[in-house]
Amino acid sequence: MKNPMLEAVSLVLEKLLFISYFKFFSSGAPGEDKAGNTLYEISSFLRGDVLEVPRTHLTHYGIYLGDNRVAHMMPDILLALTDDKGLTQKVVSNKRLILGVIGRGASIRVDTVEDFAYGAEILVNHLDRSLKKKALLNEEVAQRAEKLLGITPYSLLWNNCEHFVTYCRFGTAISPQADKFCENVKIIIRDQRSVLASAVLGLASIFCLGLTSYTTLPAIFIPFFLWMAG
């Protein structure tokens, strides 16, 4: 049986992560005509390589399948609205991506290198060095990615593009980006200044909006839980 408290905490963390990465989604997203302005040395990529696109707040990952094809996980709200592959196979726009994150729907899809990177720099197999893990053989990596193609649930914390790539590349689904975010949240929670700040904001909301249940309860319980967690 699932723990309601843990589910609530997980949901809050996911929403915080979504907000903190909103700048990534709103700047330089797929579908904004950038890919055509950048040339990539596709001949240098090997089937099974991990392609990484560093952005302002996070890195997007994919597995190179050869022949200018990249398998990667993309949130997409359109998957929940239609079965028309003619529509869903088009490059995922910024709005589709954001709504897909909120709706927790995604697919592991194949796009060209240009559509995958949308004009950004591409790093190759950087995860091998940063994680210091032994990678599987490239052909096995590519085959794992191909077997997972299709619709999949999406979660910023538990099932994102990095989980997909690390599973294919190393055999274990992990996301250092999500782990780092959770560690940062823990640091904030443990900082006693967070308790004071939440208490001040709670009192300010009561002063501005009046003494009601939707202002009083958060003003009491949020500082209390932060204090207990700290």
Give catalytic residues, as residue numbers.
Answer: 161
Question: Cβ(144)–Cβ(173) under 8 Å?
Answer: no
Angle 13-94-54 from CA coordinates, rounded to 5°:
70
Helices 4-20 and 176-190: angle between axes, nearest 10 degrees: 100
Beta bridge mates, 121 = none
C-alpha 211/C-alpha 192 separation (Å) is: 26
C-alpha 137/C-alpha 150 separation (Å) is: 23
> What is 67-96 written as a DSSP string?
TTEEEEEEE-GGGGT---HHHHTSPPPHHH
Strands (E), the chain: 50-54, 59-66, 69-75, 105-111, 123-124, 150-153
